[in-house]
Amino acid sequence: MKMCTEVSQVLKDQGLLESVREERQKTIDSDHLQVKQIYVNDTRYIVYLNEEEVRKDKKARNSIISSLEKSIKQWDKSLLEINVINII
């Protein structure tokens, strides 16, 4: 339970994230990785945010949701057909 409490503290921390760039990629879009370090009870935590991965994950989630919605609609139609057949 101690670990959950520490992780909760880390995630609630409002400290600023710092941009990280590779030396060979100093472009405007290269600021997609941000990091910060947080200490809780003498334990160091590194928190990072990768904006590029956030966009990819969001697109993947939306695709999954869309696919599931289509499946549910087809499933509903097939259930209606089964019920109509059983009634007749």
| Cβ neighbours of 33 (radius 10 Å) | 17
Q: What is the DSSP string of 27-74?
A: SGGGGGEEEEEEEETTEEEEEEEEHHHHHHHHHHHHHHHHHHHHHHHH
pTM of the model: 0.55
Chain segment 16-53, per-residue pLDDT in tens:
888 887 655 555 555 578 999 989 888 899 989 898 99
pLDDT at 59 over 90: yes
What are 36's two structure tokens? 């910060």
| Three-class DSSP category at 77 | helix
pLDDT at 9: 83
What are 65's two structure tokens? 């949701």
User: What span, in angstroms and rounded, lies between the C-alpha atoms of 14 and 50?
Assistant: 17
